[in-house]
Amino acid sequence: MTSPSDPTAHTTPVLSFDDVHYSYPKRRKEIVRVLRGLSVDVAAGERVALIGRSGSGKSTVLSLASGRLVTPVGTVTVVGHDLATLTADERAGLRLQHVAHVHQDFRLMPRYSALENVELPLRLQGVAPAVARERAREALERVGLGHRVGHRPKHLSGGEQQRVAIARAVVRQPTLLLADEPTGALDVELRDEILQLMFTLCAASAILLVTHDPAVADAADRTVRLS
């Protein structure tokens, strides 16, 4: 139950898409139409699953939500900011402060250890070095990688890299958590454990989760299908 004064109450959306159309320009004549009028809101504390066949635009939606892509048609609002009105630097600042994105291909820094990867965004946010290190270590322990903190990504399995990417996102307790198939490299038991951990550690976050796994979609509050 949430009271009206509860900041995590499902009221003001953290993320809002209003009639968003998006196309990728092609080099030759043809353009790739991906989104045709998507409207969706995700509020604080809410977990929305985004489903749809491969190529339907799920990853594009996450890129639009993070402000890495900007739509020319329709409005994407993140914590009250219409992203189209911000400069690229302002969008990067908003991301740093509020948005964590677990990419499908993890995107860990190859030259950094697992611990350094997780600690980096905290340092960029201004968290003191010793505190950032402790929180990063704890997050890696929570995802079952306490014994791998010094390993570089190339010495970790796909499932381990995915868990580092999740630790790096959840450690910040982001206002908005974007996750692209975040359990795709994990076996079923680990999937359920990591998903619950993500939901527990980011209980106050707005979560938009891309998945093709019905069990993951079922764990969300709501499902949005792209066609």
Binding site for Mg ion (CB under 5 A): 58-59
Q: Which does 215 bind (CB under 5 to 8 A by kind): ligand ADP, Mg ion, none?
A: none
144 or 184, CB closer to ligand ADP? Answer: 184
**End-to-end Cα, the chain, rounded Å:** 34
Q: Which residues is 77 bridged to in the sheet?
A: 16, 82
Total residues at interface with ligand ADP (CB under 6 A): 11
58 or 142, CB closer to ligand ADP? Answer: 58
106 or 167, CB closer to ligand ADP? Answer: 106
Q: Which does 60 bind (CB under 5 to 8 A by kind): Mg ion, ligand ADP, none?
A: ligand ADP
Residue 34 in the binding site for ligand ADP (CB under 6 A): yes
Residue 94 in the binding site for ligand ADP (CB under 6 A): no
User: Which residues are near ligand ADP by CB under 6 A?
Assistant: 24, 32, 34, 52, 54-60
